[in-house]
Amino acid sequence: MGDRLRYLLNRISERLWVRPLTMCVLSTTLVFLAKTMDTAEIGRLVPAITKESLETLLSIIAACMLVIATFTVGSMVSAYASASNTATPRLSP
């Protein structure tokens, strides 16, 4: 019985829809948990976040992501140029 159940769980976990469904259920649960914590006493201990501080934080994150994306594209172009210079046309279909 245990081997059969383990086999079925492994087969289900191999499906492509299992991980997104799990993350969806987990995130929905966390949203409702955060909403209930907002009305609880512990919600009053968390500092208030203003719109300006959130915009500043998001602009810093966006600037960092732009730098990382630029570096990644540059390194990909450099690798492609290096590979195209060293390889012969017979190596690539």
| Residues 12/18, Cβ–Cβ less than 8 Å | yes
pLDDT of residue 92: 55
As averages over each run of 10 residues, the pLDDT of the chain (93 residues) reads: 86 86 95 85 78 93 94 91 74 56
Look up residue 82 and give its two tokens. Answer: 């290096």
pLDDT of residue 93: 56
Instruction: Give the number of other Cβ atoms within 10 Å of residue 54's Cβ.
Output: 10
Taking the model in full, what pTM does it have?
0.43
**H/E element holding 78?**
helix 51-86
Nearest to residue 68, comparing CAs of 76, 56, 78, 58? 76
Distance CA 81, CA 87 (A): 10
